Structure 1
Amino acid sequence: NILKVDPKIGEMQVERLKKLRAERDQKKWKEALDNLREVSKSDENVMPAVIEAVKARATVGEICDVWRDVYGEYRPKEFV
């Protein structure tokens, strides 16, 4: 069995994200992600900064973008 998702669901989600980004406080959002970036570079616990970012309406993708920027991205070795 293959799960088939109605394309309208994806379109609805895109619209929800557009609305979220338009309505959130951009200053708080940027400050929260900047703080997450700085905390991620330190030895501090990142969880409080993640919670702050979520409260500022940052998406999971935006939080992960910060971490990819700080930590990089794992790329497995290719075997031929």
Structure 2
Amino acid sequence: MTCARRARAAEGFSCGQKLTARARTAWPRLAAVHVRHCGQFAHVDGELAAGESIKLMRLHYGGSVTTWGFALCLATPGG
């Protein structure tokens, strides 16, 4: 694994940790937050207490752990 790839993996892990910590205080109805990485994107899903998974947002990695683009997922079925 190259240094750049290792750094991106660490920053992705940090992103997941920050979202999980934020979910505890801001989104108490979420039982868990799941982050999947695909290239420079992080897809964030929330898991409700009943086990239902909902798409929350997509983040675009901007080169550092503090720089991310942001897109909300629509709350409509199929959105």
Q: Which has the higher contact order (CA 8 A, sep 6+)?
A: 1
Higher strand share: 2
Higher helix share: 1
**What TM-score does the superposition give when structure 1 sets the normalisation length?**
0.36
**What TM-score does the superposition give when structure 2 sets the normalisation length?**
0.36
Larger Rg: 1
